[in-house]
């Protein structure tokens, strides 16, 4: 006999997993849902969109919409390191030590849930509001080997973001296009097509030396990704 906090849907459940995070138990299960036909969502508003994933903003859309990422992340990290320091300085195995350990696990869970929730909102928004979505092909395996904590967390977000976009687009009938890894979305001018020789990470504004076009760097990249769907033959991916 199992009592759940939320109602379990009345459809056949395929598989079921029970897991524990900190002091809470979770149950997750798989159910079968049918894919929708293309054009079922609100795609008539902005049928095509390019999505640039970045460090400054998590996602910049060619429509001008920006998803900054979880705002409280830095505060949480600071709090977490403080709690970890306190934990280290308690007598190992003592009641206070155990209490601190549980507090750390709870904060970890809270931060992870905030991020997960944010990514779900972002990917649902993108999949539901557009019928063609172009993203960059990120080198996920190379990224996972990143040892810097902040960068690694960012990589995980990108990886998870793509995973969610893949299944959500399929679900609502939106076509997800993955741009070639060598497509220069950042270095190209989205107005005249000029390709810059170099663009450093701290150059936040894209300034084209040929047509004098000035644009937020991430937005310029997103517009180029948006154009990718029209300009290449390989858009069937």
Q: Looking at residues 155 to 214 of the shown chain, list those that interact with Zn ion (rule: CB under 5 A).
A: 189, 191-192, 194, 208, 210-211, 213
Instruction: Report in angstroms how near the CB of residue 213 gets to Zn ion at its nearest.
Output: 4
A 10 A CB-CB count for 180 gives 14
Out of 136, 137, 155, 233, pick the active-site residue: 136
Beta carbon nearer to Zn ion, 83 or 215:
215
- Token duo for residue 33: 């849902």
66 touches Zn ion (CB under 5 A) = no
User: Dihedral of the CA atoms 212, 217, 218, 221 (nearest 10)?
Assistant: 50
52: which strand partners? 60
- Minimum CB separation of residue 62 from Zn ion in Å reads 16
Q: How far is the CB of 200 from Zn ion (least distance, A)?
A: 18
Catalytic site residue from 6, 48, 52, 68: 52
Q: Is 155 a catalytic residue?
A: no
Which neighbouring-strand residues pair with 44? none
Q: Which residue, 137 or 209, is less far from Zn ion as judged by CB?
A: 209
Angle in degrees, 0-180, between the axes of helices 95-129 and 149-172, rounded to the nearest 10: 40
Q: Which is nearer to Zn ion, 132 or 226 (CB)?
A: 226
- 97-106: b or e for each residue (b if 16 or more CB lie within 10 Å)? eeebeebbee
Maximum separation of any 2 CA atoms in the chain, in Å: 71
Least distance (Å) between residue 203 CB and Zn ion: 15
Residue 80 · residue 107 · CB < 8 Å: yes
Catalytic: which of 48, 155, 216, 218?
218
State the DSSP code for 5.
S
Q: Catalytic: 68?
A: no
Closer of 176 and 208 to Zn ion (Cβ): 208
The nearest distance, CB 196 to Zn ion, in angstroms, is: 9
Q: Which is nearer to Zn ion, 129 or 190 (CB)?
A: 190
By CB under 5 A, the count of residues binding Zn ion is 8
Place of tokens 């910049």: 60
Known catalytic membership, residue 218: yes
| 188: exposed, middle or buried (Cβ count in 10 Å: 0-12, 13-18, 19+) | buried
Extract the tokens encoding 121.
């909102």
The residues that are catalytic are: 52, 136, 218
List interacting residues with Zn ion (CB under 5 A): 189, 191-192, 194, 208, 210-211, 213
């Amino acid at each position: 006999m199992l009592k759940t906090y939320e109602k379990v849907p009345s459809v056949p459940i395929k598989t079921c997993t029970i897991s524990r995070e900190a002091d809470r138990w979770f149950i997750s299960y798989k159910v079968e849902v049918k894919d929708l036909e293309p054009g079922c969502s609100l795609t008539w508003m902005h049928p095509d969109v390019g999505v640039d994933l970045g460090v400054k903003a998590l996602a910049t859309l060619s429509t001008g919409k920006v998803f900054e990422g979880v705002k409280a992340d830095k505060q949480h990290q600071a709090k977490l390191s403080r709690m970890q320091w306190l934990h280290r300085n308690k007598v190992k195995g003592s009641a206070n030590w155990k209490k601190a350990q549980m507090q750390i696990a709870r904060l970890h869970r809270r931060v992870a849930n905030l991020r997960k929730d944010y990514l779900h909102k972002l990917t649902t928004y993108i999949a539901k509001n557009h019928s063609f979505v172009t993203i960059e092909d990120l080198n996920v395996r190379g990224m996972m080997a990143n040892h810097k904590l902040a960068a690694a967390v960012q990589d995980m977000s990108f990886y998870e973001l793509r995973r969610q976009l893949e299944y959500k687009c399929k679900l609502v009938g939106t076509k997800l296009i993955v741009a070639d890894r060598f497509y220069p979305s950042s270095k190209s001018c989205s107005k005249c097509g000029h390709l810059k020789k170099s663009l450093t990470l701290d150059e936040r504004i894209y300034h084209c030396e040929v047509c004098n076009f000035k644009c937020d760097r991430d937005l310029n990249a997103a517009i180029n990704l948006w154009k990718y769907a029209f300009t290449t033959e390989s858009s069937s991916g």
